[in-house]
Every structure is written in structure tokens, then in C-alpha cells.
Amino acid sequence: MDFERRYSPLPRSADIDEFRQEVRKFYAAEGRSFPWRRNTSPYSVFVSEVMLQQTQVCRVEPKYLRWMREVPDFPSLAGLSTEGLLGLWQGLGYNRRALALRESALKVIKEHDGILPDDPERLRGFPGIGPATAASICAFAFNCPVVFIETNIRRVFIHFFFPEREAPVSDRDILPLVEASLHRESPRDWYNALMDLGTLLKSRIPNPNRRSRHYTRQARFEGSNREARGAILKALQKAPLQSAGELSENTGIDYRRIMRAAEELEKEGFLSAENGMFRLG
């Protein structure tokens, strides 16, 4: 694909048609293959989309494959213990997503007769599912022609349609282009193509998303509360019952940080505490 080619930010039909042809040509030649693209069942897509939130594909793929072997459907996920859940999730980070995933499985079973809804508005009522994830689930699981933006899609449209713009580009400027270019007969393949093109652009050119109004840098992990939370959960998987002092010693993290993180985890349902001792669940 010609990465120097540029188009008008106004959704003109000639530009949109040419852009769509270029993207589809690129995908036919260089599209990637992932297990969640080969298995597009609603459960498979739901799990992969939650895993891919804020986590690199190279880390997700082996975790996804193991997950699908051991937890192949919504009922098995709903019945998974907290210890088993976190053991499978370990290495993906942002552990709240694991709890949200199990809560979603319970919601599917209790409120939707075991069938994942194919409506973005209904999916937005699921734990940890925002507008973009809800729409992407519908596109990839049900091939629905929904319109949404995520980081790779944003990168593609900023690069090709706003190359000279100095002011930050808002998603409100991008959405009409996403809607105009959407391949409505095969939205699943179209969005896969945009995702792959956005990933390639990131490796080839300075990140266009830095010119987005919505661009933020990810906070440092080292020394953060996330680091303490993850260390506590990992330590309790090795030794199921520990005091805050033991957790501090075993993780090498300051006692006060351990206490703050442990109290948060207890409130969220990751931990239970009794007589100054913490355990999972």
C-alpha cells in the first residue's frame, strides 16, 4: 500500500472508494491470522476483545489459546474460582478485566439464556465493556455493520485523511469517514484490515495518534498501584494465606503500598481478609 497517498478529510465518494480499495488490497496481501479470527463464535470474540484491551497481541495469543482449552464457554467461565481465574489471566495485566469477564459470563447465563446479545447498546451494560468494545464485539462476532473507533483505526484515518492538520484531530472528525468507508457486506474483514494497517503504520512512521485530541501516554507501571496489586495477587497464588507484612516481604514492596492495594482488592472482590490475613476470593 502507498503510505504517502493522502485523501480529503471530507468524505468524498471518489476518495472513499479509492481508500477502501487500497485497504482491502493491503489486507488480501498482508492480513494477519489469529485464532480469534478463525473462531468467530460470540464467546471466542468476547474473550479475545476483553484480553486485547490495553494488552499487546503477542502476549494475548498464547493466553487466549490456553484459556479456550480450559474454559471453552460461558458456563465454564461463570463457574471458575477466583484462584483459577487469576491463574489463567496472569501475565495479561489489569486484573479487573478478569473479574469483569466472569461477571459477564454470569450475566449472559442469568439474563440472556446463555446467548450473548448482538446489540452494542445491550453489551454496554456488561461489566468492563465500553462503547468501542461493545461495537467491536458486534462487528467481529456477528458481522454487524457498526461504526466505532479504537487506537489502530484512529491511526489509519489520521494518517490518510488529516496529514497536514496542526490542530488535534477529534474522533468527531474521524467518525464520518469511518461510517462512509465501512464495508457493510463484510464489516468483520474490513475492521480486521484497518486493525492490521494501523499496526503496520505504527512500525513504519511516527505515531499519527500523537495528533489525536484523545491521545494519552500510558502511566508507568514500576512503582505504581497496579504493580502492587499484581504482585499481591501473584504472591497469594503461590502461598494462599498471608499477612500484609508477609506480602510486603515476599514482594519487596513497601508495607503502606501493600496495605492500600490490598484494601482496594478486597473491596473489588479479589481478596478476603480475616484477622489480618489475606486470601484470594
Among 49, 227, 263, 264, the one annotated catalytic? 49
Distance between CA atoms of 270 and 281, rounded to whole angstroms? 5
Q: Which are the contacts of 64, defined by CB distance < 8 A and separation ≥ 6?
A: 35, 36, 47, 48, 51
Q: Is 49 a catalytic residue?
A: yes
Under 8 Å between Cβ of 109 and 78: yes
CB contact burial 94-120 (16+ within 10 A = b; e otherwise): bbebbbbbbbbbebbbeeeeeebbeeb
Q: Annotate 227-276 with DSSP letters as a single string.
A: HHHHHHHHHHHHSS-EEHHHHHHHHT--HHHHHHHHHHHHHHTSEEEETT
Q: Is the dihedral of CA 176, 27, 55, 125 positive or negative?
A: positive
Distance between CA atoms of 271 and 52, rounded to whole angstroms? 25
Report, as residue numbers or ranges, the catalytic residues: 49
